[in-house]
């Protein structure tokens, strides 16, 4: 309890504290690069950005000469911190399940991602179903309980999936299905996936209307029997009402276009297409719908539906007016999204600022949190990353990471902790061994006592 | 320096007259094995580097203006399945992992598909040579250990990423014998096995492991007897392709590339090499424990797998895998890099750079993807650096080839300019033009 209180006190102190990071190359993302720039952090927010800031009394001053400061990186597609499996694969529409219910704040990959400069993740359900589970945006506040991870004010989402993954449940193969999932399930084709989503939204609209009528009656003073609550359809009604974002796993141009048309017909929006490796073929249609594209930098060749993958996807989509981000979908890749962004300079000749935007402000826009994070601007959360070199260099390394002005990763501290933890581990192993030895001795003594009582004397050397 | 260049010029003019020659001018040469040369030129005659200098010219040679860009030796991916696997999840397109425990006679080059999309895609990243291997990653990374899991899946070949046929592309056939060293798999936790097949106990697994070690010893013994019988020219001698393929191995001419991911496998592999008196290269290690010094002591080289991967244990340092190359470097182990896949084979240079961010000196990161790989596989007289007499495998870049922001502007394999287009660039051009 005392530790907990101390922890809270420390956290509060950190929030109230002012930090001035001085003499860094500031990669603001939205306002260009500032040489020898300073950032003042107050109450967890960016209070000032400039070249000649002076520290208020009592502020912690960090000299960042020769170093680079970027906004915290944002991953629009993650499965980190999900306890157990990410798929509720039983139904084609499992919209009633919620990732927020299974957040595991002790997942070590949160810390590992922090050490790579990641501060925000869109944590998604898997792609086994045409309509998967509800999703949640988190901040990587390592050490906080599950509730403390949730990004306050970020709109929740729902995962959709098109193509091979949801189809696969229709024709289980030895490669991808567990023995438990060896039962066929509709849909097993892209035609069926399109229909499934249409059917679900048809139901959702009827459900929405029933409640509307019911509420209207109630307003008139009539008291009809309320419609039966449907936890599966409720999130879809939220989608129809713009209260929940759709993040749609997709690869091929045909399925992307089909979903856009379904959404148009049903009157909802796709917030982001995820992976969207053929997005470049329908970039115009994606832009016109107003959807974002959250793609892989250079993945290809791993399955048939990515046959037309090209690392130039992001560049084409960007030029055709789509807001593009690079996602990880991986506990490893999320640790160096900056290096994935660097590839965009090579593939399609985007500028370093455009590249960096793909892992900062663009995913923030896609998640509707661009007023809070994603760039170094006054008033935004102090989610910042300090690097020894330019983050688009493959030789760069993360030194410090702040979330809401609180230091969540510090390389020097990490190196110190390693020694402490190694010692502690050694002590624990020694202690465990000592306890085992004591227990064994005790058991031996007891056995001897019993043997003696029963007259069985052990022979010398028999043990 | 000037007089030397003049001498070369005279010598070179004579050669250039009736041979195919190309002069790459106006480049900063990064030979890897010596200091960089600004404003340099490289003369290529019949696919080989004939001269390097600052003021070369050659009558009759075609001239390529390097426009002040950087010239590096082509990069080497020393562990991949390029050419043998097209789409990893579709078995019909995959020619790795043959059935059978001992298949040392299988040769990667004979199934290397010169028309594979990966050839163009990988070389566009500045990789001019790959070691193509006949198997996927070791047993340690597959879900279960099987009694009939392959141990010797075949020979890897060093392949140039340019040519009309695999014969033209093969730089060194039988460059290494691939070996998946047996391990005792860790017994999974009970909750991980619900609904799955019944699990074997540790002692059962240990017994299987010992049986496998015995099988290996017997196989090598058979190979030795076979070699004796062959040498003795016995009248009833019957040729056997499997054992025949082992002769270069037991004679120490062909190294064994041992996939050994963890400390125990590494120790076992070293012990095995000592006992069988064979040359080994450790491949794809991830949890080396305290074996770095041991590897250095025995002079055993290493082909590192992906740097950018997660720590194996929850309580490992976050950068334990990133720092591994630097750790081996400090211990004095010679190593190069592979990717042990196809889809990410082109990202080899970034693996080396990441290692550099975490402790490997940058110049040694570059060596690891060039000259070290050539030395480890016995082709340093042909590739791995820009030196007179070597094959002209060269890449022209606008900066450090280990940086993702750098572009590969031109490439030469055995002196021939290589087309840097691929399925990826063709799709780009086609769809970028969509109105």
Domains of chain B: 2-68 (2.30.40.10), 74-188+198-383 (3.20.20.140)
Judged by a CB distance cut-off of 8 A, whether residue B357 touches chain A is yes
Per-residue pLDDT at A333 exceeds 70: yes
- Spell out the residues 6+ positions from residue B176 whose beta carbon is closer than 8 angstroms to its own: B131, B155, B156, B254, B255, B256, B257, B281, B377
**pLDDT tens, A41-83?**
999 999 999 998 999 999 999 999 999 999 999 999 999 999 9
Nearest Cβ partner of A301 from B88, B310, B311? Answer: B88
Q: How far is B54 from chain A (nearest CA, A)?
A: 30
Question: Which chain A residues contact residue B88 at CB under 8 A?
Answer: 301-303
Tell me whether residues A395 and B196 touch, CB distance under 8 A. Answer: no
**Taking CB atoms and an 8 Å limit, are B315 and A425 in contact across chains?**
yes
Q: What is the pLDDT of residue B59?
A: 86
Taking CA atoms, what residue in A is nearest to B346? A298
- pLDDT surpasses 70 at A342: yes
Query: Residue A175 is nearest to which of B89, B121, B314, comparing CB atoms?
Result: B89
Mean pLDDT, range A221-241, rounded to an integer: 96
Does residue A4 surpass a pLDDT of 50? no
Residue A25 has pLDDT above 50, yes or no: yes
Of residues A456 and B74, more confidently modeled: B74
CA–CA min distance A81, chain B (Å) = 14
- B315: chain A residues, CB-CB within 8 Å: 421, 425
Domains of chain A: 73-373 (3.20.20.140)
Q: Residue A449's pLDDT band (boundaries 50, 70, 90)?
A: confident
Best mutation target among A80, A163, A300, A340 (most B Cβ atoms within 10 Å) is: A300
In chain A, residues with a C-beta closer than 8 Å to the C-beta of B403 are: 342, 393-395
B318 touches chain A (CB under 8 A): yes
Average per-residue pLDDT for chain A: 92
Residue A457: its pLDDT value, please?
Answer: 60
Candidates B90, B346, B431; nearest CB to A316? B431
Question: What are the per-10-residue average pLDDT scores of chain B (435 residues)?
Answer: 43 57 97 97 97 90 96 98 95 93 97 98 98 80 62 97 98 97 75 64 88 95 97 92 98 96 93 96 94 97 96 94 98 98 97 98 98 98 98 98 98 97 98 95
Q: What is the pLDDT of residue B57?
A: 83
pLDDT tens track for A412-424: 999 999 999 999 9
Residues of B in contact with A310 (CB under 8 A): 423-425, 427-428
Check CB contact under 8 Å for A179 and B357: no
CB contacts, 8 Å: B86 with chain A: 301
Does A109 sit within 8 Å of B404, measured CB to CB?
Answer: no
Q: Is some CB atom of chain A closer than 8 A to the CB atom of B356?
A: yes
pLDDT at B431: 97
pLDDT score of B405: 98
| ipTM metric | 0.92
For the record, the structure tokens of A31 come out as 């306002």
Name which of A115, A284, A308 is nearest B318 (Cβ-Cβ): A115
- pLDDT for the residue B194: 61
Asked if pLDDT for residue A14 goes beyond 90, the answer is no
Q: Does B362 touch chain A (CB under 8 A)?
A: yes
Whether residue A345 and residue B405 make contact (CB cut-off 8 A), yes or no, is yes
- The verdict on B398 touching A (C-beta cutoff 8 Å) is no
B196 touches chain A (CB under 8 A): yes
Least confident range of A23-37, A163-177, B355-369: A163-177
Which chain A residues are Cβ-neighbours of B90 within 8 angstroms?
Answer: 303-304
Q: Which of B342, B357, B427 sits opposite A308 (nearest CB)?
A: B427
Instruction: Give chain A positions within 8 Å (CB) of B353.
Output: 394-395
Q: Do A315 and B354 touch (CB under 8 A)?
A: no
CB contact under 8 A, A280 and B431: yes
Nearest CA in chain A to B308: A332
pLDDT at A173: 56
Taking the C-alpha atoms of residue A344 and residue A357, their distance in angstroms, rounded to an integer, is 11
Contact B359/A at CB under 8 A: no
Give the lowest-confidence range in A8-22, A324-338, B17-31, B141-155: A8-22
Task: Test A332 with B308 for CB contact under 8 angstroms.
Answer: yes
User: A463 to chain B, minimum CA–CA distance in Å?
Assistant: 23
Q: Do B318 and A111 touch (CB under 8 A)?
A: yes
Taking CB atoms and an 8 Å cutoff, what residues of chain B touch A410? none
- Provide, as residue numbers in chain A, all residues whose Cβ is less than 8 Å from the Cβ of B362: 395
Name the residue in chain A with its Cα closest to that of B402: A394
Chain A interface includes B431 (CB < 8 A): yes
pLDDT on residue B3:
42
pLDDT for the residue A202: 98
Q: How far is B232 from chain A (nearest CA, A)?
A: 50
Phi and psi based region of residue A163 (left: phi greater than 0; alpha: psi -120 to 50; beta: remaining):
left
CB count within 10 Å of CB B170 equals: 21
HEC secondary structure over chain A: CHHHHHHHHHHHHHHHCEEEEEEEEEECCCCCEEEEEEEEEECCEEEEEECCCCCCCCCEEEECCCCEEEECEEEEEECCCECCCCCCCCCCECCCCEHHHHECCCCHHHHHHHCCCEEEEEECCCCCCCEEEEEEEEECCCCCCHHHHECCCCCCEEEEECCHHHHHCCCCCCCCCCHHHCCCCCCCCHHHHHHHHHHHHHHHHHHHHHHHHHHHHHHCCCCCCCCCCCCCHHHHHHHHCCCCEEEEEECCHHHHHHHHHHHHHHCCCCCEEEECCCHHHHHHHHHHHCCEEEECCCCCCCCHHHCCCCCCHHHHHHHCCCCEEECCCCCCHHHHHHHHHHHHHHCCCCCHHHHHHCCCHHHHHHCCCCCCCCCCCCCCECCEEEECCCCCCCCCCEEEEEECCEEEEEHHHHHHHHHHHHHHHHHHHHHHHHHHHHHHHHHHHHHHHHHHHCCCCCCCCCC
Alpha-carbon distance of B2 to B18, in angstroms, equals 26
Is it the case that residue A456 has pLDDT exceeding 50?
yes
């Amino acid at each position: 309890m005392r530790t907990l209180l101390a922890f809270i006190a420390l956290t509060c102190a950190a929030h109230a504290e002012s930090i001035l990071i001085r003499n860094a190359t500031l990669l603001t993302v939205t306002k260009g690069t500032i040489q020898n720039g300073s950032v003042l952090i107050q109450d967890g927010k960016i209070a000032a950005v400039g070249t000649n800031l002076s520290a208020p009394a009592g502020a912690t001053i960090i000299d960042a000469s020769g170093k680079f400061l970027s906004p915290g990186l944002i991953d629009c597609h993650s499965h980190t911190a999900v306890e157990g499996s990410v798929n509720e694969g039983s139904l084609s529409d499992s919209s009633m399940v919620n990732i927020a219910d299974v957040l595991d704040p002790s997942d070590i990959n949160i810390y590992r991602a922090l050490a790579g400069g990641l501060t925000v993740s869109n944590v998604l359900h898997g792609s086994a179903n045409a309509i998967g589970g509800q999703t949640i945006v988190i901040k990587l506040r390592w050490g906080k309980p599950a509730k403390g991870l949730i990004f306050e004010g970020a709109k929740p989402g729902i995962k959709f999936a098109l193509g091979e993954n949801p189809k696969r449940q229709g024709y289980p193969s030895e490669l991808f299905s567990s023995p438990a999932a060896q039962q066929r399930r509709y849909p097993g084709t892209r035609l069926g996936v399109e229909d499934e989503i249409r059917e679900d939204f048809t139901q959702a609209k009827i459900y929405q209307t029933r409640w509307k009528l019911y509420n209207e009656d109630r307003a008139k003073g009539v008291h009809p029997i309320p419609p039966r609550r449907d936890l599966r359809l409720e999130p879809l009604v939220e989608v129809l009402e713009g209260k929940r974002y759709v993040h749609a796993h997709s690869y091929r141009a045909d399925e992307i276009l089909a979903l856009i048309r379904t959404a148009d017909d049903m009157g909802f929006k796709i917030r982001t297409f995820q992976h969207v490796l053929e997005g470049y073929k329908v970039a115009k249609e994606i832009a016109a719908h107003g959807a974002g594209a959250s793609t892989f930098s250079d993945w290809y060749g791993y399955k048939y539906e990515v046959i037309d993958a090209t690392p130039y996807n992001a560049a084409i989509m960007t030029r055709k007016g789509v807001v593009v981000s690079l996602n990880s979908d991986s506990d490893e890749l999320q640790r160096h999204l900056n290096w994935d962004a660097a590839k965009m300079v090579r593939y399609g000749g985007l500028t370093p600022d455009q590249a960096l935007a793909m892992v900062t402000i663009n995913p923030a826009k896609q998640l509707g949190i661009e007023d809070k994070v994603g760039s170094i601007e006054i008033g935004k959360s102090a989610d910042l990353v300090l690097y020894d070199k330019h983050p688009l260099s493959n030789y760069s390394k993360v030194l410090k990471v702040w979330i809401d002005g609180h230091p969540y990763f510090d390389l020097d501290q990490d190196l110190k902790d390693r020694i402490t933890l190694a010692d502690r581990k050694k002590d624990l192993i020694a202690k465990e061994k000592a306890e085992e030895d004591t227990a064994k001795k005790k058991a031996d003594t007891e056995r001897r006592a019993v043997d003696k009582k029963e007259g069985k004397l052990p022979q010398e050397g028999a043990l | 320096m000037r007089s030397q260049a003049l001498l070369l010029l005279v010598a070179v003019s004579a050669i250039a007259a009736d041979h195919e020659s190309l002069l790459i001018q106006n480049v900063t040469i990064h030979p890897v094995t010596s200091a960089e040369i600004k404003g340099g030129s490289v003369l290529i005659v019949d696919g080989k580097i004939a001269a390097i200098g600052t003021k070369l010219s050659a009558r009759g040679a075609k001239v390529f203006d390097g426009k002040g860009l950087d010239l590096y030796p082509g990069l080497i991916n020393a562990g991949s399945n390029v050419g043998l696997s097209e789409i990893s999840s579709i078995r019909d397109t995959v020619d790795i992992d043959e059935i059978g425990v001992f298949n040392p006679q299988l040769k990667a080059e004979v199934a290397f598909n010169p028309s594979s999309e990966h050839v163009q895609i990988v070389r566009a990243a500045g990789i001019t040579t790959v070691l193509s291997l006949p198997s996927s990653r070791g047993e340690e990374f597959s879900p279960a250990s099987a009694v009939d899991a392959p141990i010797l899946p075949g020979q890897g070949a060093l392949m140039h990423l340019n040519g009309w046929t695999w014969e033209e592309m093969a730089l060194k056939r039988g460059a290494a014998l691939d070996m998946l060293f047996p391990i005792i798999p860790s017994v999974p936790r009970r909750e991980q096995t619900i609904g799955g097949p019944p699990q074997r106990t540790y002692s059962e697994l240990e017994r299987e492991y010992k049986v496998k070690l015995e099988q290996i010893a017997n196989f090598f013994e058979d190979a030795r007897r076979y070699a004796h019988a062959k040498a003795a020219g016995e009248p009833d001698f019957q040729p056997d392709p499997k054992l025949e393929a082992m002769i270069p191995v037991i004679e120490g001419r062909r190294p064994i590339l041992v996939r050994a991911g963890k400390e125990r496998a590494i120790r076992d592999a070293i012990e095995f090499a000592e006992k069988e008196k064979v040359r080994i290269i450790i491949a794809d290690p991830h949890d080396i424990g305290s074996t770095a010094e041991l590897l250095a002591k025995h002079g055993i080289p290493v082909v590192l797998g992906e740097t950018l991967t997660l720590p194996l244990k929850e309580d490992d340092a976050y950068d334990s895998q990133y720092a591994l190359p630097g750790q081996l470097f400090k211990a004095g182990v010679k190593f190069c890099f592979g990717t042990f896949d196809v889809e990410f084979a082109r990202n080899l240079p970034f693996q080396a750079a990441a290692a550099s961010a975490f402790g490997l000196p940058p110049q040694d990161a570059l060596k690891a993807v060039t000259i070290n790989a050539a030395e480890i596989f016995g082709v340093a007289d042909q590739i791995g650096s820009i030196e007179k007499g070597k094959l002209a495998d060269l890449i022209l870049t606008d900066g450090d080839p280990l940086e993702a922001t750098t572009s590969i502007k031109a490439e030469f394999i055995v002196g021939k300019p290589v087309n840097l287009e691929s399925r990826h660039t063709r799709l780009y051009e086609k769809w970028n033009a969509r109105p």
